[in-house]
Structure 1
Amino acid sequence: MTETGSLTCPYNGTPRYPFDGGEPTQYLNEVYFELGPGVWPIWLELAQRPAFLVNGHALLVEVFTRADDFLQPVDPIPGVVPLQGTLLAMHGREHLRVRRPAARPFGRAEVERRRGRVRDLVEARLDGFAGRESFDLVADLATPLTLQVLGEILGVPEADLPLFVGWGDRFLNFSDPLDARAAVQEMCAHIGGLLQARKADPSSDDILSAYAGEQGKDVSTPEAVMVGANIVSGGWETTTTALTSMVLHLLTHGPVPGGTHWDALVADPSLIPGAVQELLRTRPASGDDGPPRIAARDLVLDGVEIPAGSILILGKYGASSDPGVFPEPRTVDFTRENARDHLAFGAGPHICLGKWLAIVILEEALAALLARYPGLRLTGEPIEWRKRSGARRPEQLWLHPA
């Protein structure tokens, strides 16, 4: 195992988690490849307790779909994204009841009808770069674009959107769980005010209006507010991160010496949908593996005994690099036929609500950037990666639009 001394627990020799020590790079850590598919004991460094890593495509799908056996954690766990008070912490009929009013706007057909609006918003953002020598992909395009799209669907005024950036950053800060919870509470209070306004005038066509009206009659106000907070906090940063990581990869890697993947897409834009799926498979967007699970009872998974109450870390990006499902998994191939079988969005009843919207945003943003700036390149500014965060991306990505 690479750098064994820094990766293993001093007590039992198991790998320390997070494997990147809170300082991720754009690449999946070697531990996932070295362990391979299986259920492996690990040590949660920040929580100072043992856990299991579930690594492998079929195993993850099994855990995702066995929601009664592998539960969402009730108590906060240092070092992983907090789930308490979120939609992800619910399961079964309660989860469906609360999620249902938000499901239609994020369905594939509804998102496709919104594609033209997303394209217009991307073009408007790029129009604002006219005459500029450089721009920061994160602050100037990815963050405001994603927030605006989500804000329109949810029903958040555009002027309020910058507030959510600060709340989202605090929510994804692994080093301060108490502040992360405080950020969620502040966000919920703000969304609660918006929801009350919709109840007084539910005529708008947005998700908050759906919860304020007949569709949300079986959902309590705190539950509706929670869904709103989940949509923003769980959607803008992940999509911003994915777009940033994709562009960085395209500009710095290539299928042949001297040629980048960016050049390949400029030459053949029809590859964009496949490129998005393949990069979702190979470019980890999270600083960790996402929400863990808790064993509801004594269980056996892949021949490994899992005691009741054990924490399971679900290696979704390791599963997306499972060589049994994706031959030559480290090779980035935009024509890979089964790239969409990745688990970047999870699986089962808690599959990402905004999956199809994220794909449309990524496709439209890349298409517009490629068409406008075929010669796009990095400015050479130092790239600093976010630390101890749920987002695996550079803090900034400065680009020359020429």
Structure 2
Amino acid sequence: MLDRLDLFGTGFAADPYPALAALRHTAPVHHDPGTGLWLVSRYVDVRRVLLEPGTYVPDNAQRAVAPLPMSALRALARAGFTLPPALADNGGSTHAGLRRLVMRFFSSERVSAAMPVIEETARELAADIRDRFSAGATCDLAADYARPLPCQVMMRLLGIKGISADKLLKWSDAALELFYGRPPAERQTYLAELVGDFHRWLSDQVAGAAPEDGLVGALRNHRLPGGELLDRATAVAVCFFVFIAGQSTTGQLISTVLRRVAADPQAWSRAATEDAFASAWVEETLRREPPVTTWRRIAAREVELSGVRLPAGAHLLLMLMGTGSDPDVFTEPEQLCPSRENVRHHLSFGAGRHRCPGALLARTEAAVALRTAAHLLPDAVLMEDEPPPMLGLLSFRAPLRVPVRRMGASEPQQSR
């Protein structure tokens, strides 16, 4: 199986679990010739790497995994595109201060204060779907609900105006595909044009008159360890990372949660009324099927993992998704069990100094999205008997469609 492994293939995107299990059992540190990366798949090894930032540095975390053609590089250059180390790819002295700044905007107090906005946005989007759903139409909860919800919440919380949520989502998705996909050269150039437009817009936001108490204003006034003000390029890089994580990856999580719960009518019914149950389903989905499936590191010196010697400079791919199914940590990992006691031990948000700063907001948005959809769209049933088309990038995975219809509106559908 491992000699045929294609991390970008549709087969792996549809069902990665057999390959992830084979990696854990037979080759926990495996060199993948297709990417040149060392795949690290056991929970204990991945956690060790994440918790030793001096030995395993994040410098490659946001580099393009496929070489960009000259036409794409020119498109980025015309936009003045540059992403200095800021958050996920920053192992230097500036990281701690930037992380503290960003964390202020994702604190438990801020998330609690944002609950009315999250709930109102979810109700509005679900209400727009409800009439079609009640009339018996098939509705796509991924496109019409899961994906726009976190983007619209972010826009409301940050006071973003003068641009559509659809455009922000298009830019964010383009960045993920360009840097974490393997598209053909012509599409890379198209994506680079979109990413260039995104970068120009972010640069204008940083240079403009953003409120001083907002994220952009805080970045503009942030001072580095030496006392100098943060440069504009790094401020843009922080926004680039935060905007994408706050839109695309959270939308991917919500799509996956909705698809899993909609496949179980009893769970769908409980999610409508039981807050704790909805939150537990989100957590169990994060363990088993997270939107961020892998992350990268570089060995700063020669190291040994699971008996394999890796040279200094080795590029590692941490199989986050596989660690959530490691039987040494999770009993019967293939079963979705919302009552699992150690579910929060998963590594889907990372660990240590680079743990996702927006984890609480993502969890909250996903739980609210599930509760609201289950309440306003009762009797929903998943309409697919086959695996759905999947987003299959190196580090991101989610169903591209979540089609549901009201039970009884047509032929009764059997849940899976």
SS at match of 1:330: coil
Structure 2 vs 1, CA of residues 333 and 225 (structure 1 numbering), >3 Å: closer, same or farther?
same
Structure 2 vs 1, CA of residues 386 and 295 (structure 1 numbering), >3 Å: closer, same or farther?
same
Structure 2 vs 1, CA of residues 267 and 89 (structure 1 numbering), >3 Å: closer, same or farther?
closer
Structure 1 residues 284-326: Cα deviation after superposition (integer angstroms, max 9, x where no partner): 424xx33311111111223321111111110111111121211
Matches within 5 A, 1:362-401: 362-380=366-384, 383-388=388-393, 390-400=395-405
Structure 2 vs 1, CA of residues 268 and 99 (structure 1 numbering), >3 Å: closer, same or farther?
closer
Select between 173-182 and 216-225 the one with higher mean Cα deviation: 173-182
Contact 1:291 1:313 in 2 (8 A): yes
Q: What's the counterpart of residue 333 of structure 1? A: 337
Query: What is the CA-CA distance between 1:328 and the residue it aligns to?
Result: 1.0
User: In the aligned structure 2, how far is the partner of 1:170 from the partner of 1:318?
Assistant: 26
SS at match of 1:292: strand
SS at match of 2:334: coil
Once the two structures are aligned, what percentage of the paired residues are identical? 23
Structure 1 residues 249-273: Cα deviation after superposition (integer angstroms, max 9, x where no partner): 1122x5xxxx653245357553111
2:109 is equivalent to residue 109 of structure 1: yes
Unaligned runs of 5+ in 2: 68-81, 408-416
TM-score of the superposed pair, with normalisation by structure 2: 0.81
User: In the aligned structure 2, how far is the partner of 1:26 from the partner of 1:267?
Assistant: 31
User: Which residue among 219, 223, 244 is the counterpart of 1:233?
Assistant: 244
Contact 1:24 1:392 in 2 (8 A): no
User: Which residue among 30, 53, 59 is the counterpart of 2:18?
Assistant: 30
2:139 is equivalent to residue 132 of structure 1: no
Matches within 5 A, 1:3-402: 4=1, 7-8=2-3, 16-18=5-7, 21-25=9-13, 27-36=15-24, 39-45=28-34, 47=35, 49=36, 51-74=37-60, 76-78=64-66, 85=84, 87-133=87-133, 134=137, 135-157=139-161, 159-173=163-177, 174-176=181-183, 179=189, 183-198=194-209, 202-203=210-211, 205-213=213-221, 218-252=229-263, 254=264, 260-266=266-272, 268-286=274-292, 289-380=293-384, 383-388=388-393, 390-400=395-405
Contact 1:385 1:392 in 2 (8 A): yes
User: In the aligned structure 1, how far is the partner of 2:247 from the partner of 2:15?
Assistant: 21
User: In the aligned structure 2, how far is the partner of 1:269 from the partner of 1:123?
Assistant: 16
Contact 1:154 1:207 in 2 (8 A): yes
What one-letter code is carried by the residue in structure 2 that aligns with 1:175?
A: R
Query: What is the CA-CA distance between 1:204 and the residue it aligns to?
Result: 5.5
Structure 2 vs 1, CA of residues 110 and 60 (structure 1 numbering), >3 Å: closer, same or farther?
same
User: In the aligned structure 1, how far is the partner of 2:56 from the partner of 2:212?
Assistant: 38
Contact 1:71 1:293 in 2 (8 A): yes
Contact 1:52 1:311 in 2 (8 A): yes
Contact 2:303 2:311 in 1 (8 A): yes
SS at match of 1:156: coil
Contact 1:28 1:317 in 2 (8 A): no
Q: What's the counterpart of residue 72 of structure 2? A: none
Select between 117-126 and 268-277 the one with higher mean Cα deviation: 268-277
SS at match of 2:88: helix
What one-letter code is carried by the residue in structure 1 that aligns with 2:9?
A: G
Query: What is the CA-CA distance between 1:44 and the residue it aligns to?
Result: 4.0
Structure 1 residues 153-172: Cα deviation after superposition (integer angstroms, max 9, x where no partner): 44432634322222222222
Contact 1:97 1:219 in 2 (8 A): no
Query: What is the CA-CA distance between 1:333 and the residue it aligns to?
Result: 0.8
SS at match of 2:145: helix
Query: What is the CA-CA distance between 1:78 and the residue it aligns to?
Result: 2.5
Contact 1:26 1:245 in 2 (8 A): no
Contact 1:27 1:283 in 2 (8 A): no
How many equivalent residue pairs? 375
Structure 2 vs 1, CA of residues 170 and 266 (structure 1 numbering), >3 Å: closer, same or farther?
closer
What one-letter code is carried by the residue in structure 1 that aligns with 2:214?
A: D
Structure 1 residues 21-44: Cα deviation after superposition (integer angstroms, max 9, x where no partner): 255445442122223267422314
Structure 2 vs 1, CA of residues 335 and 34 (structure 1 numbering), >3 Å: closer, same or farther?
same
Contact 1:17 1:44 in 2 (8 A): no
SS at match of 1:106: coil
Q: What's the counterpart of residue 12 of structure 1? A: none
User: In the aligned structure 1, how far is the partner of 2:165 from the partner of 2:271?
Assistant: 32
Unaligned runs of 5+ in 1: 9-14
What one-letter code is carried by the residue in structure 2 that aligns with 1:40?
A: V
